[in-house]
Structures are given as structure tokens and as C-alpha cells.
Chains A and B, each alone.
Chain A
Amino acid sequence: MSRMSLVESLQVLHGLRRPDQVVLSTMAAAREWMKLGTHPLDFIYAPSAMGEAPALGLGMALARPDRQVIVLNGDGCMLMNLGVLVTITAAAPANFVLIVCDNSVYEVTGRQSTAAAEGARPPDTAVDFCRIARGCGFAATCEFERIEEWQAAAPQVLAARGPTFVLLKVASIPGGEVPRSPAPPVERASAFAEALRQSS
């Protein structure tokens, strides 16, 4: 089965995104999310501390329980800090959605396999992110490989009480580059904080 395209998967979310939702994106997802347009409550996490996007989103969600925070993470980023799944479920923010766009490679460095990639592991030792998330206490977990399935389920997934974990199996993009900050990061941080404050 061929994986859905990252761009199409993000277009589904973009089409459903409400004006009051925060969308935090990193790595390949950030690069492609920026191309779909801008929004005051978008936080493009670039430059990033790789692996920390879910923690950053958790902080936003705890500060603003009246706003749903959607984090677009990569599988390589997720692997860097699996412990944050436990941190998230301990804090239990109902307004938190973690979407992992799993392309099984470090795309921005040239598509090297992650340690979880099927071809980089012994047979029959597949890594199951959703089972890990369930084991860490996520009440809602789901996985999609076909765009039609994600498209059909996305409204219910986003409407569920969080914290929610979503795995999207996406195809990697040849030549995909590191996302660049669309403006000076310090200015963007201030603008985002102000937009979030004014969105009350």
C-alpha cells in the first residue's frame, strides 16, 4: 500500500482548521504547512530543538486550555524524546492533539532511515508508535495510511477529547530541505504570544 503524501495530509488539516486553533509544526511538516498559507496562531518551530515540539505544544496547551493545540511532529523527532508522551499524559490536557507524520526517514538530512524504519531493523521487530502511545496512557490513538481514511476520520479525531495521538504514514519527499524560519524567530515568538493573548 502506498503511503499518503505529506502535502495532501496537511491539506486535510488545513481545510478543517478553525481560526481559534493553534497549529505548531516542525521539520518537514513545518516546511509544507508554511506553503499552505499563514495564520496568526501558526507557530513554525524552526529553528527547533529537535524532539521538543510536543513539549512546546504541551506548554501552550496548559497555558491556554481554552484553545486546542495541534502539534505536527516527525517520526524522527518523536523518537528523540519518547518520554514526552508520558509527560503529556501525566498533564492530561484535553485540548492537545499530537500528529506524527511518519515517513520513516530523516528527510531533511537526505532521507537516511530512522532506527524505527522497517528496513533498518531485524524482521518482525516493527515499532508501533500507536501502541507506544496507548501504553503511555493516550486515551485516543489512531493511525492512517490512506488519504481517504484520514480525510474521512479527521473531523472526529480533532473533535475527540484529548490528549490525542495520531500517526499519519506519509511518503518522504526527495530533496526535502530543512524548514527556514519565515521571519526572525524572536519577532515571531512575540507576535504569536500577542496573537494568542488577543484571541481570548
Chain B
Amino acid sequence: MFSGSQIVAELQNLGITHVVWLPDSTLGQWEEALSSASEIKLVRVCREGEAWAIAMGLSLGGARPLVMIQCTGLFDSGDSLRNALYDFGVPLFAVIGYRSALNKAANDSARTFTEPNLKSWGLDYRLIDAPEKLPELAAHYAVCREAQKPGVVLIAEGKM
């Protein structure tokens, strides 16, 4: 739906300093653009829970991180995001790949549980499921940053 250069341009406009990520097949197509962006450092993790803790450390150190993972990694992230966002109140922001969101016929439990999972964590999210919705990434980030609250943008995945 989006090219790496489109995403990098959005993130650079937001002042993002670090993208802490574990890619899926959609997000992974942005790797070259992200890793070559001069103002963004790409931090590769081995499991998604690490991403929230690293982003918390970056944030406490004065950087402006963004977590970028797939929804399956969100499921794996529970205790780490709980601690960062709610124990220590660090308002992190994440871009999360929403597996099978565009394949309504797909029997994929990852799609079934993604939005209920975000709601259970009390995370304010926006769904980007069409190319013209890309500006919602910046808009939602700005709202969350102004309110000092965590936020998520879901990137719908699958065939359009």
C-alpha cells in the first residue's frame, strides 16, 4: 500500500529518531528506505517485547522512538508494553501490521484478535486500510503526542 520512501518521509516529518522493529512481509518492504534514512536509526530486535522496552529507554534518554511490529508481535508484547505504558507511563507510539485485514475471507485468528487486543490494552488506534488514509498516521501521532498518551496505527495487510 505504501512505499518505504513514503513511510520514511512521514516519520522524518514527525521527528522520529529511532524505529525499533521486527518486520513482517509488508513492513519488511520498507527496510531499505528505513535503514538508509539519514535521520532515523533502525534498531532490530529478536522478539517484539524487547521493542517496547528499548523504545522506553530511548524515550527516557530524550530520543523520539517508534515501535514497528506485526500484530502477532503485539500479542507477544503484552507484559513489556504494559510495564512501559502503564507502570511507568511512557507514551510510546507504534505502527503495527494488521495481518490479513484486507483478506476478509481468510481464516486468520491474527485478524480476529488484533483490534480486541488493542482495546483491551486501552490503546487508542487508527486503521489505515487505504492509500488515501496515510495522513492519518501523522495526525494520530500528533494527537497522542499532544495528549502524552500512547497510540497505535494499524496498517492493513493483505491483497487489496
Residues of A within 8 A of B (CB): 43, 47-53, 55-64, 81, 83-84, 86-87, 90-91, 185-186, 188-190, 192-193, 196-197
Contacts and interface: CB of A to CB of B under 8 A. Distances in A.
A49 B53 contact: yes
Nearest to B90: A189
Interface stretch (B79-87, B99-107, B122-130, B152-160): B79-87
Contacts of B52: 49, 52
B89 interface: yes
Contact of B58 (A50, A59, A185): A59
Contacts of A197: 62
Q: Which 9 A-B pairs have the closest CB atoms?
A: A59-B57, A63-B61, A83-B46, A55-B53, A186-B89, A49-B83, A52-B53, A59-B54, A60-B57
A71 B57 CA distance: 12
B8 interface: no
Q: Interface on chain B toward A: helix, strand, loop, or mixed SS? A: helix
B71 interface: no
B27 interface: no
B79 A50 contact: yes
Contacts of A81: 47, 49-50
A53 B79 CA distance: 13
Interface of B: 18, 20, 41, 43-47, 49-63, 65, 79-80, 82-84, 87-90
B58 A63 contact: yes
A185 B63 contact: no
Contacts of B20: 59
Contacts of B62: 63-64, 193, 196-197
A58 B57 contact: yes
13 contacts: A49-B80, A55-B51, A56-B56, A57-B57, A59-B59, A59-B61, A63-B63, A81-B47, A83-B47, A87-B43, A90-B44, A196-B60, A197-B62
A54 to B, nearest CB: 8
A90 B45 CA distance: 9
Contacts of A64: 61-62
Nearest to A83: B46
Given A55-B54, A55-B57, A60-B58, 13 more contacts: A49-B49, A49-B83, A52-B52, A55-B45, A55-B80, A59-B54, A61-B57, A62-B61, A81-B50, A83-B45, A84-B47, A87-B50, A185-B89
A91 B83 CA distance: 23
A47 B20 CA distance: 23
Contacts of A48: 83
Contact of B41 (A58, A61, A62, A193): A62
B87 A185 contact: yes
A49 B82 contact: yes
Nearest to A181: B87
Nearest to B49: A52
